[in-house]
Amino acid sequence: MAFDNDDFHAPVELRTDEFLLRPIRVSDAELDYEAVMESREFLRTWEQSSWPEDDFTVDANREDLERAVRRHTDGESFTYTVMDPTEMQCLGCVYIFPTDARMFARKQVSAIDGGQWSRYEAAVYFWIRKSRLDDGLDRRLLDALRAWLQHEWPFENHVIITNEQFEQQVAVIESAGLQLRFQLEDPNEPGKSLAYA
C-alpha cells in the first residue's frame, strides 16, 4: 500500500484558478473554524456525530488541527485545507485515509457489486463550506480532486466516501458519474457511509 512505502510523499498542493488545496496548518485554526461553524449543521450529518458542538471554540479547533498536522507529517493520513487563491478564506477540507485505517475496522463493509475493499488503497472525504454549495464549488472540487488523485498520487484505486444522510453530497458524487461500490455501517451511527469509485 502506498501509505506504507518509504518512498511515498504526499503531493504538496493542488492549485486551480478558484482554490488552493494544501496541507492544513495549525495557523489555519481561525479560518478553518469560521468555515466549520458556518457549516456545522451539515457537518454533523456528514460526521454522524455532534461535532462541531455549538460551544466549539477556536482553541478546540486548534487542538484538532494539531492532531491532523501530526498525522499528516507521520504519513498516517492526510488533511488538506481548501483555501481561496488569496488564502484569506477557508472553503472546506479534504481528508485522505488508508482503507486499512483503524476507523474502518469497526465498520461492516458490504460490497455492492462484489468488489473487494482491500483492492482500494485510499478513502477520500471532502466538504465545502455551506455558503459555497449553491454555486457548485463542491462539484468543481470533486472534479479537480479526481484528476489530482489519478495523476499525482500513487494509488491504483481509491473511493470517495460520504454519508447517505448528506443527500446533497450524494447527489454531487453521483452526478460526477461515480458508482456506489460499498456501504459501511457502524452500530453507533444512525446512517450508512457510502463509498463511490
Q: Domains of the chain by range and CATH?
A: 2-196 (3.40.630.30)
**20-60, pLDDT tens digit by residue?**
999 999 999 999 999 999 999 989 988 888 999 999 999 99
Distance CA 192, CA 186 (A): 7
Q: Has this prediction a pTM greater than 0.75?
A: yes
Residue 33 confidence (pLDDT): 98
What grid cell was written down for 76?
Answer: 498516517
Confidence class of residue 81 from pLDDT cuts 50, 70 and 90? Answer: very high
Residue 145 confidence (pLDDT): 97
DSSP output for 125-159:
EEEE-GGGTTTTHHHHHHHHHHHHHHHHS--S-EE
HSE, side-chain direction, 13 A CA sphere, residue 49: 5
Distance CA 102, CA 125 (A): 16
Distance CA 139, CA 123 (A): 18
